[in-house]
Amino acid sequence: MADIEQYYMKPPGSCFWVAVLDGNVVGIVAARAHEEDNTVELLRMSVDSRFRGKGIAKALGRKVLEFAVVHNYSAVVLG
């Protein structure tokens, strides 16, 4: 867990979202803002294989897009 905080949450402009269903973590996505080119980099997305095909990745991706729009970034790029 320390690696998650160090790599995905400490750098300025970084975010980490967790999808929870019935008290269980079923997916995650991490993103980091890059001020120098006004973009947000989607660093990692993962959904538990038992929960794929249920729109969880789509919802997590939308969270990253919403973050970019709210903070006026020009694009989301894949890391």
15 vs 58 pLDDT, higher one: 58
How high is the mean pLDDT of the chain?
A: 90
Q: What is the pTM of this model?
A: 0.85
Residue 15 is encoded by which pair of tokens?
């975010």
Residue 59 three-state SS: helix
pLDDT of residue 11: 64
Of 79, 77, 13, 78, nearest to 39 by C-alpha is 77
User: Within 10 A of 38 (CB to CB), how many other CB atoms are there?
Assistant: 13
65 vs 7 pLDDT, higher one: 65
Q: Give tens-digit pLDDT for 5-38.
A: 666 666 678 889 999 999 999 999 999 999 999 9
Domain ranges of the chain: 2-78
Amino acid at 51: F
Report the CATH architecture of 2-78: 3-Layer(aba) Sandwich (3.40)
